[in-house]
Homo-oligomer: A and B are copies of this chain.
Amino acid sequence: MTEQIWSQPITKIEPNKVAVRGYRIDELMGRVPFAHVVYLVLKGDLPTEAQGRVMDAILVSSVDHGATPPSALAARTVASGGAPLTASIAAGIMTINRHHGGAIEGCMNVLKEAVARKREKGQDALTAARKLVAEYRAQKKRIPGYGHRVHTDDPRTKKLFAVAEKEGVAGEYVDMGQAIRQAMKETLGKDLPMNVDGAIAAVLCEMDFPPEMGNGLFAIARTVGLTAHVFDEITNQRPMRRISPTAQEYSGSPEREL
């Protein structure tokens, strides 16, 4: 039976050679930081130093958010039935979807649409943002990436924008994010700051990532926290316990300075 050969553009394997996107992994090791390699593997080319540092900040920002996100609860619950570490982590990762983490993709789509229109019509950001906010409102569609159920002024958002600014990566998508916030404030009479999903969305747009990769980036970062949660569940908790999403507290290291 002849089979058609299919191809993939990610990694070349030959005896004693492994090359991702054209670079030998052993040459990347020790020279290019992991976060920059994440950028390389996903985008196909190495980032500039500035882009690499922004990607690093994105990944650090999303590494964990405690035990209440559904991904952490799902992962711990699967572990409590006796599943192995990786199956439990996997359950957490598949929880990342439209409602959980999905705001990155959703907000990227909105920002791309708004900036495309702005360019097309030669408008300034605020004019384009007002138009878009009015339309979304008329269609009763939510604009993802603004507001948070816990944080009113998310420190991760501020820091990510500061890093992007300092590295020269912030541009018209970050501006549009702020313009939309302003336009929503005028319309709704309520100031909803961008949340960390929105900030990541803006910065990923600046680095030309496709929106459909939003959940993937979030999954890469959050796998770290999920691994720690599952390991803790397996090591320190009773099998089949009832895992309350609310009756829960932090028992780790007290706050400390870098």
Evaluate contact between A5 and B247: CB separation under 8 angstroms. yes
Report the separation of the CA atoms of residues A188 and B219 in the bound assembly, to the nearest whole angstrom. Answer: 43
A56 at the B interface (CB under 8 A)? yes
Confirm or deny: A136 has a beta carbon within 8 angstroms of a beta carbon on chain B: no
Interface string of A156-172 (1 = CB under 8 A from B): 10111011001000000
A213 in contact with B239 (CB, 8 Å):
no
Q: Is A192 an interface residue (CB 8 A)?
A: no
Contacts of A153 on B, CB cut-off 8 Å? Answer: 16
A contact residues, range: 35 or more
A207 contacts chain B at the CB level, 8 A cutoff: no
Identify the A interface with B (CB < 8 A).
Answer: 1, 3-35, 37-38, 41-42, 44-45, 53, 56-57, 59-61, 63-68, 70-71, 73-74, 77-78, 80-87, 89-91, 93-102, 149-156, 158-160, 162-163, 166, 210, 212-213, 215-217, 219-221, 223-225, 227-232, 234-235, 237, 239-258
Prevailing SS type, chain A contact patch: mixed
B156 touches A248 (CB 8 A): no
User: CA separation between A198 and B217, bound complex, in Å?
Assistant: 28
Contact A70 B63 (CB under 8 A): no
A231 to B105: give the CA distance in the assembly, Å. Answer: 14
- Would you call B231 and A224 a contact (CB within 8 A)? no
B70:A252 contact, CB within 8 angstroms:
no
List 24 interface pairs A-B (beta carbons < 8 Å), by A numbering: A1-B246, A6-B241, A6-B244, A6-B248, A8-B248, A11-B250, A16-B151, A18-B64, A20-B225, A22-B253, A28-B258, A41-B64, A78-B95, A80-B100, A83-B84, A87-B87, A90-B90, A90-B93, A91-B94, A213-B227, A213-B231, A219-B223, A223-B223, A244-B244
